[in-house]
Structures are given as C-alpha cells and as structure tokens.
C-alpha cells in the first residue's frame, strides 16, 4: 500500500479487514464461560460481521461511495451529498461515521482502515 492518494479518476475497491469480527468472536469465547448469553450474543454479532466482511465491497468511484454485494450494487452515496465524516477510535479504528444531507450512517470498520482514510481524505476532504 502506498502513502500517496490514489487517482481521483480511478475507482478504488477496499481490501477487507477481518480484525473487528475476529476480535469479537475471540472475545466471545471466554465470555461464554462466565456469561453464556452475553457471550453468545457477542459471538453471533461477530459471525454476522464476518459474513458482511466477506460479502460486501466498498468502491470509491470518482463521484460516489458504492456498496456492492458480489456484482450487485446495494447503495450509492454521492460525495456531493456528504456533509462530514469521521473514523472513530483511531488507535484501533472500529467505526466509520458519515453524514449526508438527509441521513446519518454508522458502519463498522470491515475494510482496510488506512486506505479508507486515504480515500476519504482525497475525495471528501475533512471540513475545518
């Protein structure tokens, strides 16, 4: 991975990151021993996020953030509608927030957080 931003005219597909789902499943294992229901809920959420990590793709196109499942476009978020964005908890990024004109979105970090930030900064510079 390079430190230079990708070309704005070239679409970028983010590489999946299994860190968050695997950490949740790993946390669930000892939790099941002491709090079985809590551990089961954490494990199920981790498995759900693992499925999402495997099946979803984020594409940064010249004009929008597109979310795909396989070859099917699920949702398009045009950059022109974005007001702000933020990646929460920088030491270990776990949550990506962005606000559009009409809605707010929170997404777990299921993709390479460094490349996510590079793509965001190059396409939608943070507002001061």
In whole angstroms, how far apart are CA 88 and each of 11, 61, 75, 91, 113? 24, 23, 22, 9, 11
For residue 109, being part of any structural domain is answered with yes
Total domains, the chain? 1
Residue 67's domain is classified under what CATH number? Answer: 2.30.29.30
What pLDDT digit, counting tens, does each position of 37-83 carry? Answer: 999 999 999 999 999 999 999 999 999 999 999 999 999 999 999 99
For residue 116, being part of any structural domain is answered with yes
What pLDDT digit, counting tens, does each position of 77-103 carry? Answer: 999 999 999 999 888 899 999 999 999
For residue 7, being part of any structural domain is answered with no
For residue 98, being part of any structural domain is answered with yes
Domain that holds residue 80: 12-123
User: pTM of the predicted model, to two decimals?
Assistant: 0.86
């Amino acid at each position: 991975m390079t430190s230079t931003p990708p070309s704005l005219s070239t679409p970028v597909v983010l590489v999946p990151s299994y860190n968050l789902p695997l950490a949740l499943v790993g946390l669930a294992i000892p939790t099941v021993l002491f709090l079985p229901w809590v551990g089961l809920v954490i494990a199920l959420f981790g498995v759900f996020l693992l499925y999402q990590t495997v099946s979803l793709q984020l594409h940064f196109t010249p004009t929008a953030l597109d979310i795909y499942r396989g070859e099917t476009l699920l949702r398009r978020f045009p950059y022109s509608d974005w007001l702000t964005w933020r990646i929460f908890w920088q030491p270990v990024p776990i949550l990506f927030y962005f606000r559009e004109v009409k809605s707010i979105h929170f997404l777990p970090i299921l993709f390479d957080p460094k490349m996510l930030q590079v793509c965001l900064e190059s396409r939608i510079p943070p507002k001061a």
